[in-house]
Every structure is written in C-alpha cells, then in structure tokens.
C-alpha cells in the first residue's frame, strides 16, 4: 500500500455524446419494460394473492412461474441491452 495517492490522475474513455444518449435511452426503455412486469407481480401478490395459487399449465403455480419468469426476463433484457448498445467511436450497434 505504499504510495497511496488519492490525487493520482485516472485516464478517461473517449466518449461520443450521441452514443451515450442512445445507450441511456435504450436502458430507460428496457427498464420500463421490466418495471411493467415487476409491478404486475407486486400488484398480483398484494391485491390478488389467491390468484397466485392457480396452476394454468397444470404444474407449478402462478407464483412460481411468475417468479421464475421475472428472473429469466432480467437475463433476456440484459442480453438485449448488450445487443442494442453502441460503442463510442463506432456509431452502430455493437
């Protein structure tokens, strides 16, 4: 830990404002998609808990299916975000 230097310069990335804006916009849209599903889960659990016991596919109930679905959806949206994000200096999909 010798040489602990709190003021050391840190190199910064080259940034393209248009790319940052595009990525931010994509992030917000995908977040909204997830919020809709997550909000639906919260609402169903809080206001219609009995509906969570239904077994629409004959196997696990809605509570389990919706819970697993939210976890899988998070990964799917994360991969979509990777696909639609752009790199600075390229201006096209990464």
- 84 scored as a contact of other proteins (CB under 8 A): no
Which DSSP category does 6 fall into? T
Which positions ≥6 away from 60 have C-beta within 8 Å? 68
**CA-CA distance, 94 to 81, in Å (whole number)?**
10
Task: Show the site string, 44-83: x = touches other proteins by CB under 8 A, - = not.
Answer: -xxx-xx-xx-x---xxx-xx--xx-xxx-xx-xxx-xx-
Among 31, 36, 40, 91, binds other proteins (CB under 8 A): 31
Map 35-71 to HEC letters: HHHHHHHHHHHHHCHHHHHCCCCCCCCHHHHHHHHHH
List the one residue out of 90, 89, 70, 77 whose CA is nearest residue 26. Answer: 77
CB 47 → other proteins: shortest distance, Å?
Answer: 7
- 17 scored as a contact of other proteins (CB under 8 A): no
Q: Which residues would be at the binding site for other proteins (CB under 8 A)?
A: 1-6, 8, 10, 13, 15, 20, 23-24, 27-28, 30-31, 34, 38, 41-42, 45-47, 49-50, 52-53, 55, 59-61, 63-64, 67-68, 70-72, 74-75, 77-79, 81-82, 85, 87, 94
């Amino acid at each position: 830990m010798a040489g602990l230097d709190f003021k050391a310069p840190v190199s910064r990335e080259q940034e393209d404002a248009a790319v940052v804006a595009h990525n931010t916009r994509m992030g917000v849209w995908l977040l909204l998609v997830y919020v809709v599903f997550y909000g639906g889960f919260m609402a169903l659990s809080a206001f219609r808990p009995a509906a969570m016991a239904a077994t629409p596919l004959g196997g696990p109930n809605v509570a389990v299916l919706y819970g697993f679905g939210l976890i899988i959806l998070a990964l799917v949206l994360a991969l979509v975000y990777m696909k639609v994000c752009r790199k600075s200096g390229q201006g096209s999909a990464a």
